[in-house]
Structure 1
Amino acid sequence: MIRTESRARSAALGAGLAVTEAARAAADRAVPYGAAIPRRAEDVTPRWLADAVGVDPRSITSVRVIEHDSGTAARARLGVTSDGELPATLFCKLPPRNYLQHVLMNVFRLGSKEVAAYRALGEEPPVRVPRCHAAQEDPLRRRAVLILEDLAPTATFRTCVDTVTVTEARAVVDALADLHAAYWNTHRFTGDLAPLARRPAAEVRLGDLIRRRFLGGITGHTADLVPAEVKRQCRIFYERSSAIDAFWAGEPQTLIHGDPHPGNLFFEADSPGFLDWQIACAGPGVRDVAYFLTASVDPAMLRVVERDLVDGYVRRLDDRGIHLDPGRLWTLYRAAVTEWFLAAVCTAEAGDRMQPLDVSRVGVERAVAAVTAHDSFELLASLVDGG
């Protein structure tokens, strides 16, 4: 009875957040004027852009949209005519055009988190990211905007169906170690990084509801890829979410990207960089490593090289004065591969609203291969129980 009442309270809390943010997004669309931040790329004027990036308004004579699309955020390449203060092209991120995606962004503070992440990374980030010319948000409307370096002329990009090479994987793991070392147990999580360290209770509860909805009965187009036992085991994500969160919170915390799959990477020659910091947060660095490798490397190849890659992460941190037990980190890695399973299966269960079906199918195949090889859900349950 107590458990039922607790579940009902959690459902009410999460539903309340969803209703509030749905109303906020609807109002923002109905009354677009009077906002400090544009809602569409077409609304980026020379005067607004100049103010946002801190240059003389007279230095920019025109701004035009070269191309745009929209998913969890709206994205556009902008052509800029100026007196040399700015590059000829810039990349802009704004609230999504789709209403439901807009609500999702508001609910989970995706725009606010990405603004906070770029501000935290600063002028000399420890890893390669697009140069950030402006990062702004409107807390009342929950609008956020980023004006970034346009990487199209210099970088190559991947998709979630691609697999990286072992050399590329090692370079990304090294870069993740550099990122994590820079923020390892930083005091800033109680200061300017607090928005990335705290999750409001309503947000947590709504996340539980979404997990229950998608994992309680895996019936989507990738259901045939998930063994019955794994379908049962993965329910731990909503049945024991608080205990899982508490376990990971007990590990050393750093700034993690949170979503380092191939579609959020770019390469310049052999050097990797990271895009889309919408779910950056405080967490154990090994979660980034496990998520990236599981999502990005062909499973057969990964089983051969992953222990060496994880040990390389330990060595890279050791070189930066952070000393970890390799055996313990390997155990945590094996449990943390469940993070990509959660992301991949929930994405697949949402159908083609989040990713094309062929893309999400590859993600689930890689996720199932990993959790099966490492018996990850049983291990996670053991760790949460103090094992």
Structure 2
Amino acid sequence: MPTTITRQSPAQPKVTVPATLEEALDRAWLSQALADVSGGAAVTSVEQVEVIRTVATKVRFAVTFSGSEKRHGFCLKGLLDVDEMTARGGPTCVLEADFYSKVAPTIPDMRVPECVSAVIDREAQQAVIIMRDLITHGARFCSALEPFSADEALQSLTELSKLHARSGFLGGADWIRPRAAELSRMTYVTPEMLQELLDGPRGDNLSPHVRDARRLVAAMKELAARDGQRRQFMIHGDAHAGNIFRTAEGAGLIDWQLLQRGGWAVDLAYHLNAVLPTQVAERDERQLLREYLAMMRGHGLEMPDENEAWSQYREAAIYGFYLWSITRRVDPQITVQFTDRLGKAVTRHESHALLGVV
């Protein structure tokens, strides 16, 4: 069985969610968190391999268990050593743990990391997940700024189609929320704040009409309204290059903190225009849309005809542009590139006009 495919639910040990890197790599804590993997054997050694800090921390580490000298590589993800506000957690932490616990086992052919343990505190809205270390098995994680070719984008579209095709899971899964609708109603970034962000470097190469916060907010509200009336799919919601990995078997998806229900076009327009350089997207996106529609029909789903699908895709470009326009806690270089690519997609597709925003 390939180590990159999740086929069963991770253990959910009743242990405290660690708040620091030191706590997360404590041998006694790991012995409990990994008891399902080790058969109850204690962790005898821990070696920190790599620490990657963004909002959440990812730490690659290796352990040995009592009775064996074999090293086992893992990657833990959680909010470690963060400020007081971030340490309060939030629904996205638990959402990702629930994806690996509840959703991934139902899509065994979708390539995702194998999660072996999910430690969840629902009351505090805190969670950490422990996955097999894909890098030790030859995987390579793409960087957020890595440009994709059309063929590479087709590989990741294949994985997204597997997720979308299992959208029957949404029945009774109210915990998977309509994120686009919720974003359109959020108030923590005011129009004035958004305009200030768009007036900065991220909007330098965009027209005044596209970097107009009032028009963007109105377009996002209209997109959310239309999207909510369409068939709902289970979508990734944040499939940029930094959330893709590659193995000899193909591409895979990580980072499920924005898992949501919404129109398929939201995922497609965001993904293609985030990973493809603008010139490549202009040339190849319509053909990639055709390929995606064929995949979905191959999964047994009815999809709109190409013209209607193209119209939905063009409207949906607003989602990714809005998401990155309001982003504040990411490397500015990444924010500028994504806002620029997605803003140019909005310009090219006349998304505002399609949504009736003048």
TM-score tier, shorter chain, comes to: 0.7 to 0.9
Aligned residues: 337
Q: Which residue of 2 aligns with 1:259?
A: 238
Q: Which residue of 2 aligns with 1:125?
A: 108
Cα pair 1:371 1:377 within 8 Å, conserved: yes
* Aligned-partner residue type, residue 228 of structure 2: A
164-173 vs 46-55, which moves further: 46-55
Cα pair 2:266 2:317 within 8 Å, conserved: yes
Root-mean-square deviation over aligned CA pairs: 2.8
- Counterparts in 2 of 1:58 and 1:172: CA distance versus 1, 3 Å: closer
- Counterparts in 2 of 1:102 and 1:35: CA distance versus 1, 3 Å: farther
Within the candidate set 172, 180, 188, 2:164 is matched to: 180
Q: Which residue of 2 aligns with 1:116?
A: 98
* Aligned-partner residue type, residue 304 of structure 1: R
Q: Which residue of 2 aligns with 1:67?
A: 50
276-285 vs 92-101, which moves further: 92-101
Within the candidate set 332, 342, 345, 2:325 is matched to: 345
> 1:1-387 residue pairs with structure 2 within 5 A?
36-44=16-24, 45-53=26-34, 54=36, 55-82=38-65, 83=67, 88-99=72-83, 102=86, 105-106=89-90, 109-119=91-101, 120-122=103-105, 125-153=108-136, 154-183=138-167, 186=168, 188-191=169-172, 193-197=173-177, 207-210=186-189, 212-217=191-196, 218-232=198-212, 234-239=213-218, 242-269=221-248, 271-324=250-303, 325-347=305-327, 350=328, 353-355=329-331, 357-381=332-356
Cα pair 1:96 1:102 within 8 Å, conserved: no
TM-score (structure 1 length as normaliser): 0.79
1:315-353 deviation digits (Å, cap 9, x = unpaired): 111111112122111111111111221122223xx3xx4
Q: Tell me, what secondary structure is at the counterpart of 1:122?
A: helix
Unaligned runs of 5+ in 1: 1-33
Cα pair 1:255 1:280 within 8 Å, conserved: yes
- Counterparts in 2 of 1:189 and 1:211: CA distance versus 1, 3 Å: farther
Distance in 1 (CA, whole Å) between partners of 2:232 and 2:96 is: 18
Q: Tell me, what secondary structure is at the counterpart of 1:238?
A: helix
* Aligned-partner residue type, residue 172 of structure 1: S
TM-score (structure 2 length as normaliser): 0.85
- Counterparts in 2 of 1:340 and 1:132: CA distance versus 1, 3 Å: same
1:153-193 deviation digits (Å, cap 9, x = unpaired): 3112222222111111111112211211122xx2x4353x3
Unaligned runs of 5+ in 2: 1-13
Q: Which residue of 1 aligns with 2:7?
A: none
Cα pair 1:105 1:111 within 8 Å, conserved: yes
Cα pair 1:94 1:146 within 8 Å, conserved: yes
Distance in 2 (CA, whole Å) between partners of 1:170 and 1:205 is: 29
Percentage of matched positions with identical amino acids: 26
Q: Tell me, what secondary structure is at the counterpart of 2:49?
A: strand
